[in-house]
């Protein structure tokens, strides 16, 4: 890349899996991209509309790889820029410190769900991720031993890994702007978005949330 990117031009949305970070990115896109077209979600996620600005900068797995690379975050982002006309990046909460300490921007947001039971319901759909966290990464501490053959093995792993994620999240919430997306999903209270970005098309926000909620049933 000949010209260095101005990293302050990009939006970074941090979340824990299951807390609707992808949905928030779609709501943001709908208001800042003039040519955005919404035709509905094809499943119970918002993933189909997510176009991240950077490769290898989304998941906890990619974060682990980045930490092992020993390169600075700005170098990592310059190297992994997609050049796909997107200026939004959705990141696992574990990326927060590396990016927030380097990029001093008002476009850094944490997305979370204050209803922990709903967070659990959404996160439980990521049970394969939870097992990966527990077995391959070894970052989730268990208060007791549980065998993989136990009939409730996955349920326990999901609870424990979500708890691990929530402890990380709570330490970050007061460090930057944050959005409790529960008010948007349940009450369509779009006013909570106004301190973050300008609302230019409220009808489009309504359409997105209505379709998202319809696909949760």
Task: Quote the tokens at residue 9.
Answer: 């031009």
> DSSP for 128-174?
HHHHHIIIII-----SS---TTSTTHHHHHHHHHHHHHHHHHHHHGG
Q: What is the pLDDT of residue 140?
A: 62
**Phi and psi angles of residue 150, each rounded to the nearest 5 degrees, phi first:** -65, 140
Is residue 62 in some structural domain? yes
The tens digit of pLDDT for each residue in 82-127 reads 988 899 999 999 999 999 999 988 999 999 999 989 998 888 888 7
Q: Is residue 76 domain-resident? A: yes
Average pLDDT over residues 168-187: 96
Q: Is the pLDDT of residue 170 over 90?
A: yes
* Domain presence at residue 131: no
Please report whether residue 147 resides in a domain. Answer: no
Range with lowest mean pLDDT among 62-76, 146-160, 194-208: 146-160
Say if 93 falls within a structural domain.
yes
**Within a domain: 150:** no
Domain of 107, in residue numbers: 7-114+176-214
pLDDT value at 2 more than 70:
no
Question: How many structural domains is the chain composed of?
Answer: 1
In a domain, 164, yes or no: no
**CA pair distance 81, 52, nearest whole angstrom:** 9
pLDDT in tens, 123-165: 888 877 777 777 666 666 555 677 878 888 888 888 888 888 9
- Alpha carbons 96 and 168: distance in angstroms, whole number: 10
Does residue 83 fall inside a structural domain? yes
């Amino acid at each position: 890349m000949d010209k260095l990117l101005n990293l302050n031009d990009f939006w970074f949305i941090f979340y824990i899996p299951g807390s609707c970070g992808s949905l928030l990115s779609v709501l943001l896109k709908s208001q800042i991209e003039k040519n955005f077209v919404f035709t509905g979600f094809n499943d119970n996620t918002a993933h189909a509309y997510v176009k991240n600005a950077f490769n290898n900068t989304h998941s906890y797995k990619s974060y682990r790889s980045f930490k092992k690379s020993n390169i600075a975050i700005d170098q990592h982002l310059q190297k992994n820029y997609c050049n796909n006309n997107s200026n939004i990046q959705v990141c696992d909460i574990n990326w927060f410190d590396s990016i927030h300490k380097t990029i001093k921007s008002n476009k850094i947001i944490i997305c979370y769900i204050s209803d922990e039971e709903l967070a659990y319901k959404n996160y439980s759909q990521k049970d394969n991720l939870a097992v990966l966290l527990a077995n391959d990464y070894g970052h989730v501490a268990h208060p007791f031993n549980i065998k993989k053959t136990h009939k409730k093995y996955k349920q326990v792993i999901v609870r424990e890994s979500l708890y691990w994620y929530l402890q990380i999240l709570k330490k970050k919430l007061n460090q930057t702007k944050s959005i409790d997306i529960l008010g948007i999903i349940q009450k369509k209270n779009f006013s909570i978005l106004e301190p973050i970005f300008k609302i230019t098309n409220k009808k489009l926000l309504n359409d997105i949330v209505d379709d998202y909620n319809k696909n949760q049933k």
